[in-house]
Structure 1
Amino acid sequence: MLVTLLRWAKRSTPLLLVCGLAGCSRDVPVPMASITGQMAPVATVGRLVGVVAAGGGTEYPATVDFATGTFSLAVPPGTYQLKFTTAAPSGATQLFPQQVAVTAAAGTTVTPAVPLITHDRIGRGTLRWTLNGKSYTARAFIKVYGEGKYFNLWGRSEEFSSTADVKEIFLVLPEQTEQGPLFAGVGTYPLGGPGRVTAFGESIVYPTNDPVIFWHYRSPYAAAPTGTVQLTRYDAERGLAAGTFAFNTTWATGALVGTPAPTAAVTNGEFDITF
């Protein structure tokens, strides 16, 4: 009996040594990270109904409060793309066009900047201008682009009909011109001027309210600018823009119906939009 115990003890000694060197401890869970945020609902646009954090080939769903648009989730430490699903007032759901990159460290909570639910390149808000003394308000936005490096705004006063007075306004602030970099967010920008690549404004007139018959006026290529746009607020991440504008134009092109005036003046322009 004694011999058997001694033999067992001799065999066990290497195991005990290995266990001692390795620590023989259980795996300690890695602390998780938390991601929180909010995409507040807009009654006429929609609401947030789903958020996932995608990273490393896995998607982690968030808990979402449909009433407030707040969300939260726990993920392993790492870098993720937040993907949003929204629902229109009709109930139809769709993937939100913007994603948000976020890096979450172990044991911390990160709250990234989340776009407004309107940040979908669809303009909403106020756009007004005066053309040759008559005032117009945009009833529809055709294009609103602003990715941080440039800003384009295009609105229409009325939908086409036999009784409409259809006018359009178009502002283009490019990333750069022939003279070098231009766009830098909030600030004042010249419209027209020397060079074929410039910031410019356009006024489109439909003399018979027919979409295929139009007069196209543009701030001209000239020795000096003929107007300005002042951006008083610009946030590409959240889709916010506000400002004022005024510029003189010359007739550039369009259907030769009627007798277009050689020039047109745009004054009292203002906008305050989400996009």
Structure 2
Amino acid sequence: MSTSPVRTVDTDLAEAGGSQAVKAQQRLREWILAGDLPSGARIAELALVDRLGMSRTPIRAALMHLKQEGLLEPLPGGGYAVRTFSEREVADAIELRGTLEGLAARLAAERGVRPALIQQARLCLDQIDAVLRASALDDETFSAYVELNGQFHKQLSEMADSAVLAREIERASSLPFASASGFVGVHIHDSQARDTLVVAQHQHRQVLDAIERREAGRAEALMREHSRIARQHMQLALRNPAASGTPGVQLIRPS
């Protein structure tokens, strides 16, 4: 269940003329993930009118969409509360993403991928290699890794040439904490834990090679195995939430 914003929802709101709703949604999401709105805290529309300086209409829309993201839950007496998540729920969401990405890798290998797309993915991996040459990640290189990692996963989903599957992968990745980079923050400034990112990068190249060689079963298995690294990251984050570098990790209840 990823901390990344649901971009399709934000876009839909903006296209509907709801720029204020988009701003409210982004601000509320930031507050939730930063712990400014703690888990279990009741959130009412009227209380947000003054705090955000907006009318109730965009705030109501923002709350509804944050409920769809899974960050809020409705209360019987009205209003919403910030959700908490069990470790198992997060693990299931990561597994779902991995299963869908595995299917995308298999279909890409079966159907074949244009050489230009393979080359784009390889260039992205070369950029990740350059980032990981540092013994530890600072804020700037960490941000670069997150962006490039997300870019590569998006390229893989597009290789399947299935709009339906790409949409479902995006939906699964938008669940709280489920994105490919949802927990990589645990590695920032940690040279030992950073080694896991090197392993993940090796898996990236193996998956891409399997797709290029049309090894469908291997590509799918590698991609599903790759998602398990995110579960390892989650366990690291839960051991030391304050130092994890993962926004919103305080919302997860360890098993």
TM superposition score normalised by structure 1: 0.22
Structure having the higher strand fraction is 1
Structure with greater contact order relative to length (CA < 8 Å, sep ≥ 6): 2
TM superposition score normalised by structure 2: 0.23
